[in-house]
A = this chain, B = another copy of it.
Amino acid sequence: MAVMRLGRIAHTEGICFAIIDGPADAPLDQLVAKEISGTPFTPPEPTGREWPLSEVRLLAPTLPTKVVALGRNYADHVAEVFKESAEHLPPTIFIKPSTAVIGPGAPIKIPEFATNVEFEGELAVVISKVSKNIDPEKWRDHVVGYTICNDVSSRDLQFQDGQWARAKGIDTFCPLGPWIETDLDCINLDDQKINAYLTHDGKREQKQDSNTDQMIVKMGDIIAEISQSYTLLPGDVITTGSPAGTAPMVPGDTIEIEIPGVGSLKNPIERA
């Protein structure tokens, strides 16, 4: 399947889903947003309306009823944050609520009580249909495609609360985007770079420089296991955990998560 990106955009007259068209490696200002009728869950039918991407605003590409997230799924990140070997701390499931979701470019707003807030760049998938007990070998039949999730986390609340629902579920703490890449062959799940760049005081620095080869539970097994517990609904997001390199962000910073082949998700940090 050729590269195809499905996005959700705000244009001058409203909001719609759109094919984000153009060469895979073209800069954003050379891409075109082509409105489609319907949703990402049916074959896209262009309506004929289109805009240069620079004249519209990308929104979160999906409106999930829930974001199911994996914690401690990268060996390098477990060692970094939990000071433990991944053998002793297996991956664990948690939920980020729909109200935490924002799109590309929207500000991550940090309230006063959420201290030590870090980014976590993650590869995510968007569910395509009502699904339960998915066969790990057939996970591709249940997803629209890949997107990027920034699993923003207040490390202080995370360890103080024990449960992560608040530390990771605060409004704006779930940037998603920039779009859904529907070509599941666009990346190699066993050897895929995940990068994060933090701009602080005007200086851009690479913080995450990891690879899906550090993933403990792999995509098919993640989706299969989660779907044993939860019915997954169209638009729901499963995010597969963060590799090492997470670091604190403060108001005024900008964080960019890049997964080459999928895209780049950039958000400024503000005080709530």
* Given contact pairs A66-B99, A99-B232, A170-B229, a sample of 10 additional A-B residue pairs in the complex whose CB atoms are under 8 Å apart: A65-B65, A95-B97, A99-B230, A99-B231, A111-B229, A113-B228, A132-B171, A163-B164, A170-B230, A171-B231
Q: Check if A166 sits within 8 Å of B231, measured CB to CB.
A: no
Enumerate A158-186 residues with CB–CB distance to B below 8 Å.
161-166, 169-171
* Number of copies of this kind of chain in the complex: 2
Q: Check if A169 sits within 8 Å of B97, measured CB to CB.
A: no
Q: Check if B99 sits within 8 Å of A233, measured CB to CB.
A: yes
CA distance A233 to B101 in the complex (A): 14
CB A165 to nearest CB in B, in angstroms, measures: 5
Q: Which residue of B lies closest to A231 (CB)?
A: B99
Binding site for B on A (CB under 8 A): 65-66, 68, 71, 92-95, 97-100, 111, 113-114, 132, 161-166, 169-171, 228-233
Q: Check if B230 sits within 8 Å of A169, measured CB to CB.
A: yes
| Most chain B CB inside 10 Å of its own CB: which residue of A95, A113, A114 | A95
